A and B are shown apart, each in its own frame.
Chain A
Amino acid sequence: MKASRLLLLLVVLVVVAGAAWWFLRPRPVVSDHLTVYYTKLDGNSLGTWTVSLRPPQPGESAAEHLHNVALYAAVQSIAGPPSEVSAIRFPPGTHVLNVLVNGSTATVDLSKDVAASAGGSFAENGEFKGLVYTLTGISPINAVQITIEGRKVETLPGGHLELDTPLHRSDW
């Protein structure tokens, strides 16, 4: 009788431990929407719009899903908000070549079209502020490294914003 009670207790403990592990296990936060940021024409304040996210597909690992979400976020941010919204936008033709997520840093590789801006710091600042805020809204990303055609650059040609180290929200 005593042995059966012990056995029952053991089973309960195992079930409780298993349930605790299941609910508390580390896993990426899966959201059904993404907040995309853009910089308004005052050059400083941020606006947002929301797009829906795909849930993880069968066979899509957590790492692959994080990559896909970051890729989608970067593409949305570079494209900018709907046309009726007044926003600082990346130069036409700018597109995302790739996004790699390594730990908490996302590396966004952009096409060289990004260099074709008006030349002032105003647009450059607004463009990258929106991109960094968008990507760092995805857990666990908190830093964004920019590369142009696969290469690190000090800044954009004739630019101002430091791009050779990862950018954080705290850089603004």
Chain B
Amino acid sequence: MKISEADVEYVAKLAVLEVADDEKKELAEQLSRIVEYVDKLNELDVSRIEPTPQVVTSVKHAVRDDRVAPRTGSSEAARTVKLFKVPKVITER
């Protein structure tokens, strides 16, 4: 599968990444090589195989007791970070 410069542009838009015009060609070539390599997986018939999104090694259920415990809260976070001003989101039409 070849990745075109238009594909790069499209995927960059999905990922909210800016890709400069002079980067597009190189990225398309590099990604094409990688995607051609991963096409190797097509050699395998996996139609009857279950996916493994995560190797589950934890035996107990993850839900914890509902107890009050000290934890870093948002006020603590605000001490070190300038929270959370963003540019204007809503604009006049």
Are A and B genuine complex partners? no
Residues on A lying within 8 angstroms of B by beta carbon are none
